[in-house]
Amino acid sequence: MKWKKGAVSPILAASVLGVLALIAFQLVWMRYSRRLSEELFNQRACMALCSTVENYGGGAVCNKNDSGESCCRLNSADDNPAFDSSFHANLTEQLKFYQIDLGYKLTLSTEKLCEKHPYQCSVSLPTENGENAFINLVFPEKEAFVLQKMNIMVAATILILLFISAILLMANWALMKQKRLLQTNVDFFNNMAHEFRTPLTNIGLATNMLTRKHEILQNNPFLEVIQRENGKLQAQVEQVLQLARLENGDFTLQPETFALLPLLQSVADDMAIQMEEKNGQVLLETIPATLTVWGDRTHLANVFRNLVDNALKYSSDAPPVIRISAASIANGVEILVKDNGIGIPPDQCEHVFKKFQRMREGNLHTQKGFGLGLAYAKSVLQLHKGHIKVQNISPNGSQFDVFLPHKPH
To the nearest whole angstrom, how small is the minimum distance from the Cβ of residue 366 to ligand ADP? 12
Instruction: Give the separation between CA 345 and CA 350, rounded to whole angstroms.
Output: 10
Q: Which is nearer to ligand ADP, 82 or 375 (CB)?
A: 375
CB of 336 to ligand ADP, least distance (A): 12
Looking at residue 325, its amino acid is S
Comparing CB distances to ligand ADP, the nearer of 172 and 363 is 363
In terms of CB distance, is 108 or 342 closer to ligand ADP?
342
Distance CA 334, CA 328 (A): 6
Q: Check: CB of residue 277 under 8 Å from CB of residue 387.
A: no
CA nearest neighbour of 364 among 347, 352, 354: 352
* 332 or 397: CB nearest ligand ADP: 397
Q: Least CB distance from residue 206 to ligand ADP, whole Å?
A: 27
- How near is the Cβ of 282 to ligand ADP at its closest, in Å? 13
Q: How far is the CB of 8 from ligand ADP (least distance, A)?
A: 31
**Nearest Cα residue to 341 out of 323, 370, 321, 368:** 321
Reading across the β-sheet that carries 281-285, which strands appear in turn? 281-285, 321-329, 332-338, 398-405, 387-392
Q: Decide: 15 and 172 in contact? Cβ < 8 Å.
A: yes
> CA-CA distance, 312 to 265, in Å (whole number)?
16
Q: How far apart (Å, rounded) are the C-alpha atoms in residues 280 and 312? A: 8
Name the residue nearer to ligand ADP (CB basis): 138 or 390.
Answer: 390
> What spatial distance separates the first Cα and last Cα of the chain, rounded to whole Å?
26
Q: How far is the CB of 373 from ligand ADP (least distance, A)?
A: 3
Task: Indicate the DSSP class of residue 64.
Answer: B
Burial status of residue 109 (CB atoms within 10 A of its CB: 0-12, 13-18, 19 or more): middle
Q: 62 vs 342, which CB is nearer to ligand ADP?
A: 342
Query: Which class for 386: exposed (0-12), middle (13-18), buried (19 or more C-beta within 10 A)?
Result: buried
Q: Which residues contact 14 (CB under 8 A, 6 or more apart)?
A: none
Short-list 141, 146, 124, 150, CA closest to 46:
124
Amino acid sitting at position 113: L
For ligand ADP, which is the closer residue by CB, 338 or 384? Answer: 338
- Residue 3 or 370: the one with the smaller Cβ distance to ligand ADP is 370
Task: Count Cβ atoms below 10 Å from residue 180 Cβ, excluding itself.
Answer: 11
Residue nearest to ligand ADP (CB): 369
- Supply the minimum distance, in Å, between the C-beta of residue 235 and ligand ADP: 10
Nearer to ligand ADP by Cβ, of 207 and 236: the residue is 236
Residues binding ligand ADP (CB under 6 A)? 306, 310-311, 313-314, 339, 341-344, 352, 357-359, 369-375, 398
Taking the complex as a whole, the smallest distance from the CB of residue 236 to ligand ADP amounts, in Å, to: 8
Q: Please state the closest distance from residue 304 (CB atom) to ligand ADP, in A.
A: 12
